[in-house]
Amino acid sequence: MIKLEVAVDDALGLAAAVAGGADRIEVCAALDLGGLTPSAGLMGAAAGCGVPCYAMIRPRAGGFFYPAEDLAVMVGDIAAARRAGLRGVVFGALSADARLDVPAMQGLCAAAAGLGVTLHRAFDLIEDWRRAVDAAVDLGIERILTSGGALGAPAGAARLAEVMRYAEGRIIVMPGAGISAQTIGGLRGLPLREVHASCAAPVASDPRDLAMGFALPGAKRTDAGRVAALKAALQ
């Protein structure tokens, strides 16, 4: 059976992912920025939702080159995820020349000892992805979340096939980005074990919130029906 991981960034999205039948949940803040570290309160709610949950560990928007100050925050956030009782964490760190920052990743993985670890889509910015796969395996990371270097996983299917062949039997490669019940056919033929999606639907924002900058246009939230539809399509 192909597992479905659903990314959420608020309590209503968390409830929708559970109701729709998600097999695992990635808990974030600010999915419109690619996901940031969630609040302690949302981590606590996720820990009690009955579905295995991983926390995004990303201290700020932007790239994935982290100085010591950012890494210290990430170590503290990993500790918060552990205290909350979450099953794992999701992170990635790159060097200034867009390679996997192995020393930084070693420190983060040490902080996460005993938790599951996913290397997130920072992987999609790495040119020498084979070396990154090898490093992730050596670090004991469970899975790599990747779109195959494209804006959406269906468009990156050819690269995903390459990565999966290279990683086979050593680490899970989990396609993510742009995946829905309508687009999953674009990954037909890949040896899928897990798939990642937000299954989000548009939500209305109060015009006053938009005018004051308290909300962004085009807001979305995980939808239980879309989760259930993708889960059914995966079967």
Supply the pTM of this predicted model.
0.95
Give me the pLDDT at residue 178, please: 96
- Give the model confidence (pLDDT) of 1-19 as tens digits: 999 999 999 999 999 999 9
Residue with tokens 């687009």: 183
Range of the domain at 26: 3-234
The predicted-structure confidence for 118-137, as pLDDT tens digits, reads as follows 999 999 999 999 999 999 99
Q: Which residues contact 172 (CB under 8 A, 6 or more apart)?
A: 142, 143, 144, 193, 194
* pLDDT bucket at 215, cuts 50 / 70 / 90: confident
Between 45-59, 175-189, 208-222, the lowest mean confidence (pLDDT) is in: 208-222
User: Which residue, among 85, 54, 58, 55, has the nearest Cα to 74 in the 3D structure?
Assistant: 58
Q: Is the pLDDT of residue 219 over 90?
A: no
CATH code, domain with 34: 3.20.20.380
CA distance 147 to 135: 19
Q: How many domains does the chain contain in total?
A: 1
pLDDT at residue 177, as a whole number: 97
Furthest-apart CA pair in the chain: how many Å?
52
Q: Which regions of 46-184 does DSSP assign to beta strands (E)?
A: 53-56, 88-91, 116-119, 143-146, 172-175
Percentage of residues in the chain having pLDDT higher than 90: 93
- 205: pLDDT confidence band, cut at 50, 70 and 90? confident
